[in-house]
Amino acid sequence: MKQFKFPTSKPDLTAVAQYLSTGTAKSIVVMVGAGISTAAGIPDFRSPKTGLYHNLSRLNLPYAEAVFDIDYFRRKPEAFYMLAQELYPGKFRPTMFHSFLKLLEDRGVLRRVYTQNIDTLEEIAGVSPEKVVYAHGSFATNHCIDCHKEMSKVDIEAFMKKDDIPKCSRCGGYVKPDIVFFGENLPARFFKLLPGDLDAADLVIVAGTSLQVHPFASLPSQVSCPRVLFNLESVGDFGRRKTDVIKLGPCDEGIEQLVELCKWDKQLKDLWTKTAKTANVAEEEDAASASQKKILKALATTAAANAEDASASKEESSAEEGSEEEDESLAQDDLDEVQQAIEAFNELEIAVASEDATASKSESAVEKAKV
Ligand code: OAD
Ligand code: ZN
């Protein structure tokens, strides 16, 4: 078993900073999720108040994850494409945490980033493609769900620009980006690189993930090196090992503290400043809150379509059973709730996202959202 010279007496950010700044950590593996992008204006999935799934489950709407479900996509690809229009790379600026990944690469100590995100903000921040593993796929490649013929990025973007559902030129089947839907396999690259990376890691940094979705969720427990968590809440088995360092709070704030201790803060700020022009948004001011709002609204509309489906099938079955009146009123309740959800999303105010507010950017989406 390898020995790591990580100070165990007091595992804290100062110890991590020493481990980094003395050049002891040479092979860092980072594992991230939606929480590292919330400061960019992309909602995560499970956070109370602002998470995509949470908003829907709170309202007892059917089937929030449908938007990433392959069977549902076969029947109603519009739902996914409505969300994809909003999430499509190019609209968002990387966060300070993304620039930290680039900083690690520039210092020659980044072994790999395993990301569950499909926003590609890692690469937009400048991290090289070979350093990133998109564990849940990405928008980079696209295939027909029936005959698997590939569709180029240019072609799929042309469909999306016209608000059309992309269809295969060979068989007419629907085409979807190679994002891993529920029930689908993770990319081969994930399984190919993982064993070597876990073995080589001398520091694992986990950030912005609830560690609820397997197999990704089990990765941090498979390493024997020191581990650091930057997250709003404690997750997985963090805290069970003496050497675990847990920094609760917005991950951008945690990273800023860490780089200050390393005396790398100027380098990080320079890298982040360079990302200013990457977001192709019409108005920089309020861009993050506006995009959060649009994404949540897209999902609420998806849920409305689901509820309509559900009410249609209720009507069918109630007609058979002869209890039409009661079931129709239930369906109407569902639709009323969905309507309220859409109205609530329309009124969503997030007090962040101006350039100046970026100092406290990470807490923005999570703590200041008023629904
Ligand atoms: P989740 O929404 O499940 O978890 C996000 C985590 O980040 C939570 O623990 C939050 O507390 C935390 N968080 C949010 N904002 C933060 C911030 N500014 N700083 C620090 N922590 C913050 O998202 P994931 O774990 O990424 O799958 O979800 C995993 C998978 O579930 C996703 O990839 C997606 C979803 O179904 C697919 O799309 C296939
Ligand atoms: Zn096809």
307 C-alpha to center of ligand 1: Å? 25
Helices 287-321 and 324-346 cross at an angle (nearest 10°) of 180
Ligand 1: atom nearest CA of 45 is 2
Its pTM stands at 0.81
C-alpha distances out from residue 128 to 101, 124, 131, 242, Å: 10, 9, 5, 33
- How many Cβ atoms are within 10 Å of 361's Cβ, its own excluded? 22
Residue-wise pLDDT for 9-29, tens only, equals 688 999 999 999 999 999 999
Cα–Cα separations (whole angstroms), residue 137 to 179, 230, 287, 369: 4, 23, 25, 29
Task: Please give all residues whose CB falls under 5 A of ion ligand 2, grouped by chain where several chains appear.
Answer: 144, 146-147, 149, 168, 170-171, 173
Give ligand 1 pocket residues (Cβ under 6 A).
33-35, 38-39, 44-47, 51, 68, 116, 136, 180, 208-210, 212-213, 231-233, 235, 250-251, 362, 366
pLDDT in the model for residue 359? 33
- Could you tell me the pLDDT band of residue 282, with boundaries at 50, 70 and 90? very low
CATH number for 13-273 (one of 3.20.20.70, 3.40.50.1220, 1.10.3720.10, 3.30.390.30): it is 3.40.50.1220
Residue spans of alpha helices (H) in the chain: 13-21, 52-58, 70-75, 77-87, 96-106, 121-124, 153-161, 188-200, 251-262, 265-274, 287-321, 324-346, 361-367
- 121 within 8 A of 251, measured Cβ to Cβ: no
- Give the model's pLDDT for residue 259: 98
Show me where the domains of the chain are located.
Answer: 13-273, 281-370
Highest average pLDDT, of 183-187, 317-321, 326-330, 350-354, comes from 183-187
Does 136 participate in catalysis according to the annotation?
yes
Report the nearest atom of ligand 1 relative to the CA of 235: 9
